[in-house]
Amino acid sequence: MADDYKTPTTAGSGEFVEKRSRFIGYCMPVATEQEATDFIAQIRSRHWDARHNVYAYSLREGNIKRYSDDGEPSGTAGMPVLDVITKNEVYNVCVVVTRYFGGILLGTGGLVRAYSQGAKLALDAGRVALMEYCAVCSLRCTYNQYGKVSSIIIENAALDDTLYEADVVLRFHVKPEKLPALAKKLADATAGEVKIETEKEEFFPSFAKI
């Protein structure tokens, strides 16, 4: 069974000013190193006049993690950004924190705090979700069984679609380990007439568990 994981569901950005330096954090969902480097290049092109475009990314496939201080003192920028990603257990993400220097030095601690804050703002804007590995299923029931069956599905799984044909077809997704118990509840409620068909398995986002 594949492991659940957290990842951003959208691109996002956030910014703040610290001692006249402007920090802009960007977040982008990525699946490959090429997508990550393309996003970094895009931000660098947009902010060509910034003093620093610090980045970090983490990929689930191969457990790849990369970062760059982009001219800031070693360990004060890229690593703090990666630390925020890693401590929040987020994968398939690239974060770039752009800095427009305001003329006042922040010191080592100040830089670490500022880049960490930029990364946190970026991840918040990216709407990080828990991606749950689920079985995509369907079942067919009569109209007389529909009320009882739909209640069981809604209580134990996530209902995706309902088709009203000669019978009623319900499509839903559920964690694979919950399938046996769900199948038993349906069998008990319908004298064994309603059976679940598993179509495939894939990841679905769940925001409630973050």
CATH number, domain of 156, equals 3.30.70.240
- Please give the model's pTM, rounded to 2 decimal places: 0.79
- The predicted pLDDT at position 44 comes to 97
- The predicted pLDDT at position 169 comes to 97
- The predicted pLDDT at position 103 comes to 87
- The predicted pLDDT at position 210 comes to 44
Contact 70, 40 (CB under 8 A): no
Quick one: 62 and 140 in the same domain?
no
Beta-carbon contacts of 124 under 8 Å, excluding residues fewer than 6 positions away, are 12, 14
Of how many residues is the chain composed?
A: 210
Domain end point (choices 83, 106, 126): 126
Quick one: 192 and 147 in the same domain?
yes
Residue 148's identity, in one-letter code, is K
- The predicted pLDDT at position 5 comes to 92
Quick one: 28 and 117 in the same domain?
yes
- The predicted pLDDT at position 70 comes to 94
- The predicted pLDDT at position 206 comes to 82
Domain end point (choices 62, 91, 126): 126
What's the domain range around 180?
130-206
Q: Judging by beta carbons within 10 Å of its beta carbon (0-12, 13-18, 19+), is residue 57 exposed, middle or buried?
A: buried
What's the domain count of the chain? 2
- The predicted pLDDT at position 209 comes to 46
Quick one: 22 and 112 in the same domain?
yes
Domain end point (choices 67, 99, 126): 126
Quick one: 77 and 121 in the same domain?
yes
Which stretches of the chain score pLDDT less than 50?
A: 1, 209-210
> What is the percent of the chain with per-residue pLDDT over 90, rounded to a whole number?
91
Beta-carbon contacts of 89 under 8 Å, excluding residues fewer than 6 positions away, are 5, 6
Quick one: 106 and 146 in the same domain?
no
Quick one: 108 and 157 in the same domain?
no
